[in-house]
Amino acid sequence: MSIIDQEERISKLKRMNNPTSKELRVRASGAAKDFKSSWVSFAQVLHSIRQDKLYEYWGYEKFEQYAERELGLKKPMALKLVKTYQFVEQQEPAYLKEEFMASREPSVLPEIDAINVLRLAKNRKELTKQDFQELRKQVFDKGQNAALLRKDLTTMIRERKQLDPEEEREQRNMAALRRFLNAIRSFKKDAETLKMVKADVMKKADELFRDLESQLD
């Protein structure tokens, strides 16, 4: 950069450093916080409606019907909102307090998709408590987004599987058994429809089928 270009840049920066630009910066920061936290208020209301089954008083049989027909929310989004809110209420109640939002920069505020990934990760048996706490820090202390969190989660699960090949082998065996049962179920249905097999043979096949199914319980 030449001396002239550098002087022009400094001059431009000085012009932009005025009360109006400072006000816009503050407003942008506030809007970012509102944007990231607005889902909480909405989800809190939805959670109360679902928990108290208020939708029944409004003529709906299910919460999902109310959410879609009256609010325009598809079932996956409606459930993600209420379940994520419930998770935060139980696991991170401090997040629901105004002081939490006020003390954080917008860049480190957790987003709903990242919290939802954390919620689902809590039920993964491959992860240790230490793994979950590390993911929790990434979300609530550093504001990591959902895409990077999923990447970290995938890496953790892969590493744990490598450390426990016996469990991975057992999972493969169970998957093979499920495929085998599905094939038998399909053949059994066709055999019954076309009367391809004698009744006594079919009875024995049913007993064997139930024994195999019990292995999956």
pLDDT digits (tens, 9 = 90+) for 152-197: 999 988 888 765 566 666 777 777 777 877 777 777 776 666 666 6
pLDDT band for position 10 (50/70/90)? low
pTM of the model: 0.59
pLDDT attached to residue 111: 87
Distance CA 59, CA 76 (A): 21
The arithmetic mean of pLDDT across residues 6-16, rounded, is 55
Task: Output DSSP code: residue 202.
Answer: H
Distance CA 34, CA 174 (A): 47
Q: By 3-state DSSP, what share of the chain in percent is helix, strand and coil, each rounded to 5?
A: 80, 0, 20
pLDDT of residue 90: 92
pLDDT grade for 2, boundaries at 50, 70 and 90: low
Say how many residues make up the chain.
217
Tell me the CA distances in angstroms from 203 to 116, 148, 170, one per residue in order. 47, 53, 30
| Residue-wise pLDDT tens digits, 38-63 | 788 888 888 999 999 998 999 999 99
pLDDT over 70 for what percent of the chain?
65
Can you give the pLDDT at residue 28? 59
CA–CA separation, 139 and 177 (whole Å):
38
**The residue type at 71:** L
* Helix ranges restricted to H, 52-92: 63-71, 75-91
Q: Give me Rg for the CA atoms of the chain.
A: 27
Sequence-separated (6 or more) residues with CB below 8 Å from residue 153: 117, 121, 124, 135
141 in Cβ contact with 108 (< 8 Å)? yes
What single letter denotes the amino acid at residue 166?
A: E
